[in-house]
């Protein structure tokens, strides 16, 4: 059915995944806000309350992503959609999830040890919790997408921007094609989705010249210079994909530092 069906599938997927994301984030933050304190025992109670819901949401994100991509690729190829499900590890980061969801409390305790007011310390812990939850749902999306596309035989994909606002990292990355054997690079708070590029012929690195020109124009307004050849400033030296110890491929600005695989405890 072509473009009309694919647009309908995309709209439905965006609605389902966005609603799931909003509900889980709201549930997790409300649970954190309603704690009587933020001591060790509170952390244990919090994890017991929220972790089953978070893990179930990750699994559901995987299921709806698989269904969406299976239907999209089937329509592109003129075949029947056949989602068979995806298998997501509960520890998508390679770290036990109960350890991950203790980190907002560690952030709170660290801030208190630094002499910050209790309210500020809790706010910093809450901010970290938001980032963790958003990132875990995005990791579920990207891992499921890779499994689904591999099963379909797709070779290439692009990142599709969502919502009315997108960061510069995602906007520039959205002009590129990626290979299915590589996970879509993300960043904390990223909500981009994967869109398959059906066919075995490599479409080339740049797949959206118009968007890339718009990105150059925006950069030119901000820094006073731009070059579509990528030389001034050199976007290859600005927006890069690096391997993060937990997220996998990470969109980053070259000057940023972060934890690598060798920096993880026990590695």
Nearest to 38 by CA among 96, 115, 97, 104: 104
- Cβ–Cβ contacts within 10 Å for residue 126, how many? 18
CA distances from 207 to 166, 173, 210, 211 (A): 18, 10, 9, 9
pLDDT number for residue 188: 73
102-146 pLDDT per residue, tens: 999 999 999 999 999 999 999 999 999 999 999 999 999 999 999
**Residue 42 pLDDT grade (very low, low, confident, very high; cuts 50, 70, 90):** very high
Q: What is the mean pLDDT of residues 242-266?
A: 54
Q: Is the pLDDT of residue 179 over 80?
A: yes
What confidence tier does 232 reach under pLDDT thresholds 50, 70, 90? Answer: very low
* pLDDT at residue 46, as a whole number: 98
The structure's pTM equals 0.78
Give the pLDDT band (50/70/90) at residue 36: very high
**Higher per-residue confidence, 87 vs 124:** 124
For residue 196, pLDDT beyond 80: yes
Cβ neighbours around 30 below 10 Å, total = 10
* pLDDT value of residue 22: 95
Q: What is the dihedral of CA 65, 70, 71, 77, to 10 degrees?
A: 150
Indicate whether 258 pLDDT > 70. Answer: no
């Amino acid at each position: 059915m072509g473009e009309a069906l694919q647009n309908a599938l995309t709209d439905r997927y965006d609605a389902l995944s966005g609603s799931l994301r909003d509900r889980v984030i709201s549930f997790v933050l409300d649970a954190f806000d309603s704690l009587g304190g933020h001591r060790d025992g509170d952390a244990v109670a919090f994890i017991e309350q929220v972790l089953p819901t978070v893990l179930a949401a990750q699994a559901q994100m995987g299921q709806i992503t698989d269904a969406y991509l299976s239907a999209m690729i089937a329509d592109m190829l003129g075949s029947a959609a056949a989602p068979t499900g995806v298998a997501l590890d509960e520890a998508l980061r390679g770290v036990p999830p109960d350890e991950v969801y203790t980190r907002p409390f560690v952030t709170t305790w660290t801030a208190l040890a630094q002499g910050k007011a209790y309210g500020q310390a809790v706010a910093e812990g809450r901010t970290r919790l938001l980032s963790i939850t958003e990132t875990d749902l995005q990791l579920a999306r990207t891992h499921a997408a890779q499994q689904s596309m591999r099963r379909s035989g797709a070779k290439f994909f692009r990142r599709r921007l969502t919502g009315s606002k997108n960061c510069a990292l995602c906007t520039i990355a959205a002009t590129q094609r990626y290979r299915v054997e590589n996970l879509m690079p993300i960043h904390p708070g990223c909500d981009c989705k994967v869109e398959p590029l059906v066919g075995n012929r490599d479409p080339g690195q740049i797949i959206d010249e118009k968007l890339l020109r718009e990105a150059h124009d925006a950069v030119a307004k901000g820094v006073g210079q731009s070059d579509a050849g990528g030389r001034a400033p050199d976007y290859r030296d600005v927006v890069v994909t690096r391997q993060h110890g937990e997220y996998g491929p990470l969109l980053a600005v070259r000057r940023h530092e972060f934890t690598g695989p060798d920096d993880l405890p026990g590695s």
